[in-house]
Structure 1
Amino acid sequence: MSVSIALSVLLVVIVGAALAMQAPVNAVLARELGDPTAAAALSFAIGFVVLAALAGLRGAGLPSLTTLGAIPWWALMGGVLGAIWVWAAIWSVPRLGVVTMFGAMIVGQLIAALLLDARGAFGMEARAIEPTRILAIAMVAGGVVLSKA
């Protein structure tokens, strides 16, 4: 494994750990504010400020309306999908616990990934739906069931 790949994997592992912390931290924020949607909005507002500051430090400005108009509409949906993720995590972690919530979300990610791979979505190379891949997802889903048993 190259150093670049190893560092990329390490970064993703660290971010995964941060996400595990984000869900219960945001759940506490929701409890303190009395509403999961307000907590998600505040979390995103703080994230926006941090990212805007980082973009400014890197010399990147906000895109023009012309640039935004040339981008496919679906390429702008990341923020919407992220907002739904944060809200769902805030809402579900007090009900399910962190392990079960993340397990269930990972099952959803794996199912979507399987379908995206099969279609070769977003310009990716198509990969067949194999029985072993379905079994792998089923095993993760079994782990979700066991985590709440």
Structure 2
Amino acid sequence: MNPALIMPILLVLLGGGLLALQPPTNVMLAKAGGSPVLAALLSFAVGTAALLTVWLASGNRPGTAPFAALPWYAWLGGLYGAVYVAVAAYAAPRLGLAALITIGIAGQILTAMWLDHIGALGMPRYPISLVRVGGALLVVAGVVLVRRG
């Protein structure tokens, strides 16, 4: 394995593990506030405060000019995350965490394969292949097995 990939892989593994903690903590917020949308809002507020703190400590101050040239859809990333967080706060107690996460991963893989195939949003193009489709089918099979278990 390329040694330069070890740190990104470990960070993604950590991030994925933390994602499994997000739904149950947001379920607590949703129960307390009576709304998965409020839970998502509170979750994002805490995340925004944390990111603001880290960004301010970094000293990175790019100004506004680089953002002006971005296409409108570049601003939608937070919306996708907000939808997922609210849906997860709603669905986690109904599906269970393992099913929620595996179904979400299946959705991510299917969407990512399509985005890779067309080289969407400025990303490099990675065409769909039989091996990649096989991998996606294994994930979908995993969803079924986790849901039935």
| Normalised TM-score (structure 1) | 0.90
- Partners in 1 of 2:127 and 2:139 — Cα distance? 19
Corresponding residue SS for 1:148 = helix
Task: Please name the residue that 2:41 is paired with.
Answer: 41
Matched, 1:25 2:19: no
* Identity across the alignment (%): 36
- Partners in 1 of 2:91 and 2:136 — Cα distance? 21
Out of 100-109 and 127-136, give the one that drifted further: 127-136
Matched, 1:12 2:12: yes
- Partners in 1 of 2:46 and 2:129 — Cα distance? 42
The Cα of 1:131 is off from its aligned counterpart by 2.2
Task: Please name the residue that 2:52 is paired with.
Answer: 52
Gaps of at least 5 residues in structure 2 are: none
* Regions of 4+ moved over 6 Å: none
Corresponding residue SS for 1:99 = helix
Structure 2 residue identity aligned to 1:146 = L
Out of 131-140 and 103-112, give the one that drifted further: 131-140
RMSD: 1.7
Deviations 1:70-107 (A, max 9, x none): 22111111111111111111111111111111111111
The Cα of 1:62 is off from its aligned counterpart by 7.9
- Partners in 2 of 1:45 and 1:55 — Cα distance? 15
Query: What pairs with 1:106-117 in structure 2 (closer than 5 Å)?
Result: 106-117=105-116
- Partners in 2 of 1:28 and 1:78 — Cα distance? 25
Corresponding residue SS for 1:60 = coil
The Cα of 1:129 is off from its aligned counterpart by 1.7
Gaps of at least 5 residues in structure 1 are: none
Corresponding residue SS for 1:139 = helix
| Normalised TM-score (structure 2) | 0.90
The Cα of 1:57 is off from its aligned counterpart by 1.1
Task: Please name the residue that 2:92 is paired with.
Answer: 93
